[in-house]
Amino acid sequence: MATEIVLISLLKILVVVLTILTCVVFLVYIERRVSAFVQNRVGPNRTGPYGLLQTVADVVKLLMKEDIVPRNAYKAIHDLAPIISIGVALSTFAVIPIGDTIELFGRQIKLIIADVNVGILYILAITSLGVYGITLAGWSSNNKYSLLGGLRSSAQLISYELSMGLSIVGVLMVSGTLQLDKIVQHQTTYLFGWLPAWNMFLQPIGFITFVTAAFAETNRLPFDLPEAEPELVGGYHTEYTGLKFGLFFLAEYANMITASAVITTLFLGGWHLPYVEYVGLSSFILSLVYVGTFCVKVAAVMMFFIIIRWTLPRFRYDQLMNLGWKLMLPITIINVLLTGIVLLILH
């Protein structure tokens, strides 16, 4: 029995990690392509059909490059930083429910790697660890711009971690559990008999603040201060080459996928497709439909990430801090209070 559980878990991990890595490859391609479209360009379209193999070519290029470590860098930490980054980025996905249970070979398999009962706390804890990768990379490179990038990153993450946590509190109060699977289950009901009870509709303020904080956590524009090409050259990864730079790159996009998955799970109803249970599909097909729904929702959120990048300019450092401490934090606290009052009246 025990070996069976281990085997199934290992299989799930393998599938999820491989899927994420493949998704990153296509995500980079899609990002470059969409960016080009927004700027009335064509983007990469030469390598392979429609340029689909562009990222593969880039990865091969990165693998072939020389690995340079600056003379005065702290080598051990310089090597460790990208590993932390990528490890953190991939391990967050462990608690995210990809679908409902599926029946395979006469067994009920839950489509979640680890159904932890404190799933949300796990996500918050692990994503905060990600800052170590960036800060250590900046510090160990022994380059002032890299260091500045790393410091900015840690300041930004600390500021936005708070409002991120507080905006989730509203969701927790509504669904009454920390288990992500249960939170999704809670969102499969309907409000007034027709509106899907997604937390996006129950917690609109929480949704907006969480999405903003997620942008800050993933270091995406308009909050990409740690990288800030015009001011900091490349930020924390200036002194990285070859595969180690590739790992940072991978981690950044894996983080984006994870953030989209978390937003989907917490606010957009997870794997649930509204009204599909009335169609009367067999349970196996229904499970597949749910997995597909999850993927589509995550892809839509990622598309939003990409388009936002070309819509909003980068925040100045003081504006970032103002927004984080003077606006986001009070709003999330008020949101928690309001949710409490409403829940008190309803019960």
Q: What is the contact surface with another protein in residues (CB under 8 A)?
A: 34, 37-42, 208, 307-308, 310-312
Please identify, using beta-carbon distances, which residue of 146 and 209 lies nearer to another protein: 209
Please identify, using beta-carbon distances, which residue of 81 and 263 lies nearer to another protein: 263
Please identify, using beta-carbon distances, which residue of 37 and 190 lies nearer to another protein: 37
Q: Give me the least distance between CB of 317 and another protein, in Å please.
A: 18
Q: Give me the least distance between CB of 328 and another protein, in Å please.
A: 11
Please identify, using beta-carbon distances, which residue of 9 and 311 lies nearer to another protein: 311
Residues 163 and 95: their CA atoms lie apart, in Å, by 21
Q: Give me the least distance between CB of 216 and another protein, in Å please.
A: 15
Please identify, using beta-carbon distances, which residue of 189 and 311 lies nearer to another protein: 311
Q: Give me the least distance between CB of 170 and another protein, in Å please.
A: 18
Q: Give me the least distance between CB of 311 and another protein, in Å please.
A: 4
Strand partners, 107: 104
Q: Give me the least distance between CB of 128 and another protein, in Å please.
A: 26
Please identify, using beta-carbon distances, which residue of 251 and 331 lies nearer to another protein: 331
Residues 200 and 122: their CA atoms lie apart, in Å, by 22
Please identify, using beta-carbon distances, which residue of 279 and 334 lies nearer to another protein: 334
Q: Give me the least distance between CB of 331 and another protein, in Å please.
A: 11
Q: Give me the least distance between CB of 36 and another protein, in Å please.
A: 8
Please identify, using beta-carbon distances, which residue of 43 and 97 lies nearer to another protein: 43
Which two tokens mark 276?
Answer: 């599909």
**CB neighbour burial string for 155-189, b if at least 16 within 10 angstroms, e if fewer:** bbbebbbbbbbbbbbbbebbbebbbbbbbbbbbbe
Please identify, using beta-carbon distances, which residue of 251 and 323 lies nearer to another protein: 323
Q: Give me the least distance between CB of 45 and another protein, in Å please.
A: 8
Tell me, letter by letter, the H, E, C secondary structure of the chain.
CHHHHHHHHHHHHHHHHHHHHHHHHHHHHHHHHHHHHHCCCCCCCCCCHHHCCHHHHHHHHHHHCCCCCCCCCCHHHHHHHHHHHHHHHHHHHHHCCCCCCEEECCEEECCCCCCCCCHHHHHHHHHHHHHHHHHHHHHHCCCHHHHHHHHHHHHHHHHHHHHHHHHHHHHHHHHCCCCHHHHHHHCCCEECCCEECCHHHHCHHHHHHHHHHHHHHCCCCCCCCCCCHHHHCCHHHCCCCHHHHHHHHHHHHHHHHHHHHHHHHHHCCCCCCCCHHHCCCCHHHHHHHHHHHHHHHHHHHHHHHHHHHCCCCCCCHHHHHHHHHHHHHHHHHHHHHHHHHHHHHHC
